[in-house]
Amino acid sequence: MSAGAEDWLDKLRWDAQGLVPAIAQEVGSNDVLMVAWMNREALAQTAARGEAVYWSRSRNRLWHKGEESGHVQKVREIRIDCDEDVVLLKVEQTGGIACHTGRHSCFFQLLVREGGEPHWQSVEPVLVDPERIYR
């Protein structure tokens, strides 16, 4: 590999922990499916294999999305923003389920302000029982 082969990874402004947020957006619907974190190696692997690889902060290791559930994300585009500190992936979501709760998207909690105190309400259906996702 030539010296310049990973220059594109230097373009990102990694934070003090070496991470940036990464959004997975579904091709076609444009739904925002989830946000996770990437370090340099996660982004390099994502580009190399064409499937989303994140850095799991809770497990402190690389996380090939779908490695347990089978719900891998096929990556069609990789973008960064004007500040070069956020990644946007355009993905095809295998199984149509991105969330570990069995929902299409992780963003299923909506702020509702009608009828009393503001509160968060789940507004998206559980498509598959999570116990069936993680066997």
Contact set with a copy of itself (CB under 8 A): 2, 4-5, 7-8, 11, 21, 23, 25, 29-32, 34-35, 47, 77-84, 86, 88, 99-101, 103, 106-111, 113, 117-120
DSSP three-state, residue 47: helix
Residue 72 Cβ vs a copy of itself, minimum distance, rounded to whole Å: 18
When the beta carbons of 68 and 119 are compared against a copy of itself, the nearer one is 119
The residue among 58 and 135 lying less far from a copy of itself, judged by its C-beta, is 58
Q: By C-beta, is 94 or 101 nearer to a copy of itself?
A: 101
For residue 81, how many other CB atoms are within 10 A of its CB? 12
To the nearest whole angstrom, how small is the minimum distance from the Cβ of residue 105 to a copy of itself? 8
Least distance in Å: CB of 93 to a copy of itself?
Answer: 14
Indicate the length of the chain as a whole number: 135
Minimum distance, C-beta of residue 21 to a copy of itself, in the bound complex (Å): 5
Cα angle, residue 47 at apex, residues 43 and 50 outer, rounded to 5°: 125
Contact indicator for 26, 97 with CB cutoff of 8 Å:
no
* Pairing mode, strands 20-26 and 87-93: parallel
User: DSSP letter at 50?
Assistant: S
